[in-house]
Amino acid sequence: MEKREIIRLLQTKGEERTQLLKRSREVKDQSVGNKVYFRGLIEFSNICSKDCLYCGIRNSNTNVVRYEATDNEILEACQFAWENSFASVVLQSGEISSPAFIKRVDNLLKKIKQLSNNELGITLSCGEQSRETYLRWFESGAHRFLLRIESSNPDLYYKIHPKNSNHLFEKRLESLQFLKETGYQVGTGVMIGLPFQTYEDLANDLLFLKKIDIDMCGMGPYIEHENTPLYQHRHLLMPKQERFDLALNMIAVLRLLMPDINIAAATALQAIDAAGREKALVVGANIIMPNLTPVNYREEYQLYEDKPCLDEDKELCRNCLEARIEMSGSEIGYGEWGDSLHFRRRIKR
């Protein structure tokens, strides 16, 4: 698909859009099937050394109470995931690279493997780290890593991140490369509907994902957060409903471009539309991340406004998602890792 065609598809409305979403659904069914896989999400710390201009837990936001979940709390959430046949968890945190943090994650990985008989799959989402750290965590049991590029256009990247050595676009790219070389299944993605973002930027984002040959993707609408610098540009934003529709179009076009990758139904979709995640499953996503973060911490992990599931504990989130997914006509792949087929094929090549 050429860039011009992608730009056109991203903007479609009405009958043509219906056709696009129908086509991506068909491609999804043919390539990855109708199963949805659970990844239990544990947001284990909101302490962050970075200052991304869009993010509610950026270092300079002093309204956030900083927390670190205890090992016991994290392991209990993993135990729940394992007992409920989630097959896989995601450990996510702010970005910290201290030796203590690196060691802590390393220990946790080993303990999670132990408690689950080596069965629970572990994805990390802990930001940019050195090649050595990525390798160390890989050897201790992590096999997937999520690190969004946020925008593949360096100019836009620096409009949504501070221009300093702690927020280098090049470093982000290099980290993605390290992750791949280490042997991880690599996931990345972008925010959709950012201020200053054009349709051409988004088309380039999709072509970027294809070019660097990712295994997994998570992308959702940008949602403004009052206590962040980017909030001042909110008058430039398209209405939330349009950002939502555009996010679904992005998912649909990505499914056409990369039929066999795993695509997550991003939680941010549900901050705009109560049925947002199910709608993403219908048009092309096949991964969902039920929230397993202890409820008392959730208030303090609000990357954006209207983040859903603030009060629903893990039991409720599971039941809720189970019902939603079944209503949307998909099947849940309980007890299966649901690895990216793209990754399997990639490592055979």
Q: Please identify, using beta-carbon distances, which residue of 48 and 74 lies nearer to ligand FES.
A: 48
Cα–Cα distance for residue pair 129/295, rounded to 1 Å: 28
Residues making contact with ligand 5AD (CB under 6 A): 54-55, 148, 150, 191, 220, 222-223, 225, 268, 303-304
Q: Please identify, using beta-carbon distances, which residue of 261 and 268 lies nearer to ligand 5AD.
A: 268
Cα–Cα distance for residue pair 53/228, rounded to 1 Å: 6
Closest CB 328 distance from ligand FES, rounded Å: 30
Closest CB 75 distance from ligand 5AD, rounded Å: 22
Closest CB 268 distance from ligand 5AD, rounded Å: 5
Classified as helix, coil or strand, 197 is: coil
Closest CB 49 distance from ligand FES, rounded Å: 8
- In the chain, DSSP finds a helix count (H) and a strand count (E) of 14, 11
Dmax (CA) for the chain in angstroms is 55
Torsions phi, psi for 347 (to 5 deg): -75, -20
CA-based torsion, 39, 65, 307, 248: positive or negative = negative
Closest CB 92 distance from ligand FES, rounded Å: 9
| Cβ–Cβ < 8 Å for 148, 156 | no
Residue 115 parent element (H or E): helix 99-115
Q: Taking CB under 6 A as the rule, which mask of x and - marks residues 19-48 in contact with ligand FES?
A: -----------------------------x
Chain position whose Cβ is nearest to ligand FES = 55
| Cβ–Cβ < 8 Å for 144, 121 | yes
Torsions phi, psi for 321 (to 5 deg): -70, -35
Closest CB 125 distance from ligand FES, rounded Å: 10
R_g of the chain computed on alpha carbons: 19
Cα separations in angstroms, 114 against 3, 107, 111, 245: 47, 11, 5, 43
Q: Please identify, using beta-carbon distances, which residue of 20 and 237 lies nearer to ligand 5AD.
A: 237
Q: Please identify, using beta-carbon distances, which residue of 55 and 214 lies nearer to ligand 5AD.
A: 55
Closest CB 13 distance from ligand FES, rounded Å: 32
Q: Does 193 bind ligand FES (CB under 6 A)?
A: no
Q: Please identify, using beta-carbon distances, which residue of 60 and 241 lies nearer to ligand FES.
A: 60
| Cβ–Cβ < 8 Å for 125, 90 | yes
Site for ligand FES (CB under 6 A): which residue of 9, 10, 32, 94?
94
| Cβ–Cβ < 8 Å for 231, 224 | yes
Number of residues in contact with ligand FES, rule: CB under 6 A?
9
Choose among ligand 5AD, ligand FES, none what residue 150 binds, the Cβ cut-off being 5 to 8 Å by kind: ligand 5AD
Site for ligand FES (CB under 6 A): which residue of 27, 44, 95, 134?
95
Residue type, 94: G
Q: Please identify, using beta-carbon distances, which residue of 67 and 82 lies nearer to ligand 5AD.
A: 67
Cα–Cα distance for residue pair 248/306, rounded to 1 Å: 19
Closest CB 346 distance from ligand FES, rounded Å: 27
Strand partners, 40: 89
Q: Please identify, using beta-carbon distances, which residue of 28 and 50 lies nearer to ligand 5AD.
A: 50
Q: E strands within 14-169?
A: 35-38, 40-45, 88-93, 121-125, 144-146
Footprint of ligand FES on 45-84 (CB under 6 A): 48, 50-52, 55, 57-58
- Contacts with ligand FES by CB under 6 A lie at 48, 50-52, 55, 57-58, 94-95
